[in-house]
């Protein structure tokens, strides 16, 4: 049965897929989806069910009156559980896991029992007010009450769209009515509080798109506009200056990316030009000056606003710093911030389908996002460094290796739901056109507005190999259509073959879409070949920590070096020799075949203890080295050194001697 596309926002140029429209059938994304289903989803569920670990489900049982006890855990644990539910719903429906769907229904019933008659639902406050322990509604913006509700709304919409059942949507509608009363009262009194990590902007607009009830759209618009009425706002929360005047990415990286993703959703429905202009300014600030090569954002654990002065000096957390301030060892790069960057770029693409947005979605998902979870699927990074050394003279906030249970557990379920829903990033659509997004082995049910209806398959080992074959089957309605192929910005050469035609691709085609007009989907075969040589990348000279260094990339993957793969006492001795040939080989890590890069690097003498030393221009010896995709690092037991950026060997030195 063909699935109809549901969403058509008036100011969006393309529309997304239905959650059930595409399935991964092979390759890296299928492997990650299967690991998510078989390992990550039950692992996180077990942690949430365990009252001695996160106490999350237990809090709902206590709030519902099913058990006696006190609230334990983080205030955003409710929202983390809704994220888990969202990913579990998507996976259970796609894989027809009836047992998991029945368990989800029991969780929905539990949440409904905990919910108060006015729609309020946040277990910390419900339990706190019952106990009289001083914890009350809206007492502290860092209690994440509205954030929790936002994730409930999003999960409920997905549940309705994929199952057709209304039980979760009924809980969400009651919660939205609570938000309506909250924001209307704030508008009346002028007492407005910022909702940190504002997931509810996306959630409310998803409610509007799912139900067609314009009240949710009006509520989203009201809640966003009220940001300008916050008293004593902060750069950390992006509410120090009016929203429409923003021109730089600042403050807490999750709060900012969630904010701008929600505002992009609002623009897609209202078309307010001031919002769109602001989004483009802030996006440019992020992408051109404050994002890591992996797609990570939010470089700093904490600091002060870089745009402050003696009269405006504000502490910021998990923050964007100055332009080009991108340290490697202390890189913070919270996983949720990277995912927020994906959500934002995806919504920007829907408004204006330029290849650069999907280049960043792909870069972020394949590198920093997948690096945040172990290959086996049950150990996680909260922050995502770009360099790990043997010894630090200071302690970082989070462990230097992945662990199963992070004290702040917001990232693992967020990543879990993103992997579960990753197939939705494969395509978007306009009237008679299919736009490619993420490439991967998949099977998609197509139903375009012009009536064309068929199944489209990708056959590929991408991102390990650049050859992608598109074929069709099950053509139920024969209509001409257009296929727009994304040529990634990194692509310098390749070709497209279809019918009797062949188009050579050059560097000028990178970062664009190539449109093919196809007369019929019957027996269609289109082959996209993207050449994938290893390449060396340098950073802007203002990124001081990367001056004189290069990163190695191949296709969309960023590579790194772990000390286990280099014949040197320390990676501090290693220099990349640009004249060394690079060989691509397949190896296994944790039973998964992964492409690695073998080369020879230069090995200098160990540094020693001095802070400064005389520069020595003597040639360094060559040794064998291997680089692995960054997403696969920290999977081999020992806490090895790792680095992405490596000093460049001055090859001309030898030629002059």
Could you report the per-residue pLDDT of 91-136, keeping only the tens digit for each? 999 999 999 999 999 999 999 999 999 999 999 999 999 999 989 9
Q: Convert the pLDDT of each residue in 473-503 to its tens digit.
A: 999 999 999 999 999 999 999 999 999 999 9
Q: Of 503, 500, 506, which Cα lies nearest the Cα of 525?
A: 500
Tokens (6 digits) for 442: 């998949």
CA 165 to CA 366: how far, in whole Å?
33
List, edge to edge, every strand of the sheet that includes 433-436.
427-430, 433-436, 481-487, 512-518
SS3 label, residue 323: coil
**Stretch 642-652: mean pLDDT, rounded?**
87
**Stretch 66-75: mean pLDDT, rounded?**
95
Q: Convert the pLDDT of each residue in 196-227 to its tens digit.
A: 999 999 999 999 999 999 999 999 999 999 99
CA 246 to CA 240: how far, in whole Å?
10
**Stretch 390-412: mean pLDDT, rounded?**
87
Q: Are strands 251-252 and 315-320 parallel, antiparallel or unpaired?
A: antiparallel
CA 588 to CA 565: how far, in whole Å?
13
In the beta sheet, which residues pair with residue 517?
482
pLDDT range class, residue 1, cuts 50, 70, 90: very low
Describe the crossing of helices 199-211 and 145-163 by its angle, rounded to 10 degrees. 30
pLDDT confidence of residue 251: 93
DSSP class of 367: I
632 burial (CB, 10 Å; 0-12 / 13-18 / 19+) is buried
- Share above pLDDT 70 across residues of the chain, in percent, rounded to a whole number: 97
Q: Are 563 and 570 in contact (CB under 8 A)?
A: yes
CA 265 to CA 10: how far, in whole Å?
11
User: Would you mind telling me the total number of residues written for the chain in this entry?
Assistant: 657
| In the block, residue with structure tokens 């310098």 | 492
Q: Are 86 and 104 in contact (CB under 8 A)?
A: no
Q: Convert the pLDDT of each residue in 39-61 to its tens digit.
A: 999 999 999 999 999 999 999 99
pLDDT confidence of residue 526: 98
SS3 label, residue 9: coil
pLDDT confidence of residue 52: 92
Tokens (6 digits) for 95: 């894989």
pLDDT confidence of residue 429: 96
Rg for the chain, CA atoms, rounded: 25
CA 171 to CA 449: how far, in whole Å?
33
Q: Are 461 and 447 in contact (CB under 8 A)?
A: no
Would you call the peptide bond into 121 cis, given omega within 30 degrees of 0 as the criterion?
no
Residue 439 has, within 13 A of its CA and on its CB side, a CA count of 27
Q: What is the CATH number of domain 435-530?
A: 2.60.40
Q: Convert the pLDDT of each residue in 352-374 to its tens digit.
A: 999 999 999 999 999 999 999 99
**Stretch 282-287: mean pLDDT, rounded?**
98
**String of DSSP letters for 67-93:** S-----S-TTHHHHHHHHHHHHHHHHH
Q: What is the pTM of this model?
A: 0.96
Give CATH 2.60.40 domain extents, the chain.
435-530
CA 380 to CA 402: how far, in whole Å?
5
Residue 106: CB atoms within 10 A of its CB come to 9
Residue 652: CB atoms within 10 A of its CB come to 7
Q: Convert the pLDDT of each residue in 234-283 to its tens digit.
A: 999 999 999 999 999 999 999 999 999 999 999 999 999 999 999 999 99
With a CB cutoff of 8 Å and minimum separation 6, the contacts of 140 are none
Q: Are 146 and 195 in contact (CB under 8 A)?
A: yes
CA 353 to CA 358: how far, in whole Å?
9
Q: What are phi and psi of 601, to 5 degrees?
A: -120, 165
SS3 label, residue 573: helix
Q: Are strands 481-487 and 433-436 parallel, antiparallel or unpaired?
A: parallel
């Amino acid at each position: 049965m063909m699935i109809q596309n549901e969403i058509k926002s008036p100011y969006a140029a393309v529309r997304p897929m239905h959650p059930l429209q595409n399935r991964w059938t092979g390759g890296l994304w299928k492997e990650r989806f299967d690991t998510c289903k078989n390992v990550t989803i039950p692992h996180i569920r077990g942690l949430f069910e365990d009252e001695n670990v996160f106490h999350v489900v237990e809090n709902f049982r206590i709030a519902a009156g099913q058990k006696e006890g006190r609230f334990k855990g983080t205030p955003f644990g409710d929202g983390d559980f809704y994220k888990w539910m969202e990913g579990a719903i998507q996976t259970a429906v796609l894989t027809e896991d009836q047992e998991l769907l029945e368990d989800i229904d029991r969780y929905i019933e539990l949440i409904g029992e905990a919910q108060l008659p006015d729609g309020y639902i946040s277990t910390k406050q419900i339990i706190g007010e019952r106990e009289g322990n001083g914890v009350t509604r809206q007492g502290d913006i860092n209690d994440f009450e509205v954030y929790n509700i936002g994730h409930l709304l999003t999960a409920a919409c997905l549940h309705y769209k994929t199952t057709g059942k209304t039980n979760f949507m009924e809980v969400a509608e009651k919660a939205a009515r609570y938000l309506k009363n909250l924001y209307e009262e704030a508008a009346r009194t002028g007492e407005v509080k910022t909702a940190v990590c504002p997931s509810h902007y996306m959630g409310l607009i998803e409610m509007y798109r799912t139900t067609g009830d314009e009240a949710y759209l009006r509520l989203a618009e009201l809640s966003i506009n009220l940001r300008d009425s916050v008293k004593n706002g902060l750069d950390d929360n992006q509410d120090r200056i009016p929203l429409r005047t923003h021109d730089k990415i600042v403050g807490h990286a999750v709060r900012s990316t969630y904010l701008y993703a929600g505002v992009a959703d609002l623009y897609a429905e209202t078309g307010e030009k001031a919002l769109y202009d602001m989004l483009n300014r802030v996006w440019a600030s992020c992408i051109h000056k404050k994002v890591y090569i992996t797609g990570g954002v939010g470089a700093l654990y904490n600091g002060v606003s870089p745009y402050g002065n003696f009269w405006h000096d504000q502490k910021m957390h998990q923050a964007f710093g100055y332009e080009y301030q991108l340290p490697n060892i202390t890189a913070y790069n919270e996983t949720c911030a990277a995912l927020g960057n994906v959500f934002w770029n995806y919504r920007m693409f829907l408004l204006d389908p330029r290849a650069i947005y999907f280049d960043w979605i792909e870069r972020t998902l394949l590198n920093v996002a997948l690096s945040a979870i172990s290959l086996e699927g049950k150990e996680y990074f909260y922050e995502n460094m770009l360099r790990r050394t043997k010894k630090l003279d200071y302690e970082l906030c989070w462990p230097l290796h992945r662990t199963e249970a992070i004290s702040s557990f917001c990232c693992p379920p967020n990543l879990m739901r993103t992997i579960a829903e990753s197939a939705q990033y494969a395509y978007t659509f306009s009237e008679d056109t299919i736009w490619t997004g993420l490439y991967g082995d998949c099977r998609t049910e197509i139903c375009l507005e012009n009536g064309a209806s068929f199944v489209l398959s990708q056959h590929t080992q991408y991102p390990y190999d650049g050859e992608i074959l598109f074929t069709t089957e099950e053509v139920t309605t024969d209509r001409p259509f257009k296929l727009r192929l994304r040529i990634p910005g990194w692509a310098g050469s390749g070709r497209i073959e279809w019918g009797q035609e062949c188009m050579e691709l050059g560097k000028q085609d990178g970062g664009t879409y190539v449109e093919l007009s196809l007369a019929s989907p019957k027996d269609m075969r289109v082959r996209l070949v993207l050449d994938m040589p290893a390449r060396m990348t340098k950073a802007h000279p203002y990124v001081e920590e990367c001056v004189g260094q290069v990163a190695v990339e191949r296709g969309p993957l960023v590579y790194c070096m772990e000390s286990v793969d280099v014949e040197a006492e320390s990676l501090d001795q290693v220099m990349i020799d640009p004249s060394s040939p690079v060989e691509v080989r397949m190896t296994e890590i944790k039973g998964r075949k992964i492409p690695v890069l073998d080369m020879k690097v230069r090995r200098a003498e160990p540094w020693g203890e001095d802070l400064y030393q005389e520069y020595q221009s003597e040639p360094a010896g060559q040794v064998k080295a291997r680089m692995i995709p960054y997403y696969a690092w920290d999977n081999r037991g020992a806490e090895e050194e790792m680095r992405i950026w490596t000093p460049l060997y001055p090859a001309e030195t030898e030629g002059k001697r």
